[in-house]
């Protein structure tokens, strides 16, 4: 059983379209992170959300942490080819530094 | 700063061979970790360390050993490679400030194939 379920698994869209990807769990977390990984490279942190209901914006990317701190979404407005990559959510298990990553959403934005 | 470096970038082993994947960081981070990434599985934690001389197991530790003799280095050893260990391996480091929401900095990865 995967602790973090991400959906969709794959997404291919045209430049300029909007999209939302999701990270869901049945567990409650104190914080949740989103990373982006480009081909041949390691993941890079985009944002950390820590408060239920919190919304953070990073240029065209909007991140939201669910009110119950069990889920999160990432919305991209007017997607660009540079947004192409694997988007991963990550959490730590309570009281430890054991990070758990979701399976990821692989996004391809076509010019 | 070089950040997190990993060597080698690519490696092919035969079943039963041993090898060490090297990881080094120059950011004076206390926390270091090793992950493996397989298609459709995301990143899975193998081992981690919160400081020199301290290591602990992650989600998939079997078949791997680690040690942390210095703050900078965190090598991952495969004692007897198996085809199931074919994967891309990432090392990461993080400033261990006591919070669980700190940023992990990842290396570029080592692509390992076991025949």
Smallest CA–CA distance, residue B57 to chain A, in Å, is 9
Residue B107: its chain A contacts at CB < 8 A? 42
- pLDDT tens-digit readout, A18-49: 999 999 999 988 889 999 999 899 999 999 99
Going by pLDDT thresholds of 50, 70 and 90, the confidence category of residue A87 is: very high
Residue A92: its chain B contacts at CB < 8 A? 100-101
Cα gap B102→A45, rounded to integer Å: 10
Return the pLDDT at A47: 94
Residues of chain B that touch chain A, judged by Cβ-Cβ distance less than 8 Å: 4, 31, 33, 35, 40-45, 48, 50, 56, 58-59, 90, 92, 96, 100-101, 103-104, 106-109
| A22-A25-A28-A31 Cα dihedral, nearest 10 degrees | -40
Cβ of A97 within 8 Å of Cβ of B108? The answer is: no
Residues 6+ apart with CB under 8 A from B97: none
Cα gap A97→A82, rounded to integer Å: 31
* Strand runs labelled E in chain B: 4-7, 10-13, 19-25, 31-38, 42-51, 54-57, 64-66, 76-78, 87-94, 105-106, 110-114
- pLDDT tens-digit readout, B47-79: 999 999 999 999 999 999 999 999 999 999 999
Residues 6+ apart with CB under 8 A from A106: A9, A10, A11, A85, A86, A87
Mutate which: A23, A72, A97, vs B, most B CBs within 10 A: A97
């Amino acid at each position: 059983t995967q602790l973090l379920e991400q959906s969709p698994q794959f997404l291919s869209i045209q430049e300029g379209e909007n999209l939302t990807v999701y990270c869901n769990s049945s567990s409650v977390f104190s914080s949740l992170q989103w990373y982006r990984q480009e081909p041949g490279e390691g993941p890079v942190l985009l944002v950390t959300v820590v408060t239920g209901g919190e919304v953070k914006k990073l240029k065209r990317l909007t991140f939201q942490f669910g009110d119950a701190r069990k889920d999160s979404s990432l919305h991209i407005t007017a997607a660009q080819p540079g947004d192409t990559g694997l988007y991963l959510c990550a959490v730590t298990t309570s009281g430890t530094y054991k990070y758990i990553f979701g399976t990821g959403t692989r996004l391809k934005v076509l010019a | 700063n070089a950040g997190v470096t990993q060597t080698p970038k690519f490696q092919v082993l035969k079943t039963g061979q041993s090898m060490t994947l090297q990881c080094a960081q120059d950011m004076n981070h206390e926390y270091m970790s090793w992950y493996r990434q397989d298609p459709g599985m995301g990143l899975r934690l193998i081992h981690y360390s919160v400081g020199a001389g301290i290591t602990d197991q992650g989600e998939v530790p079997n078949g791997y050993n680690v040690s942390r003799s210095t703050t900078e280095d965190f090598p991952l050893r495969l004692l007897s490679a198996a085809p199931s260990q074919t994967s891309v391996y990432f090392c990461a480091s993080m400033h261990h400030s006591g919070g669980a929401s700190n940023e992990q900095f990842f290396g570029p990865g080592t692509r390992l194939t076991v025949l």
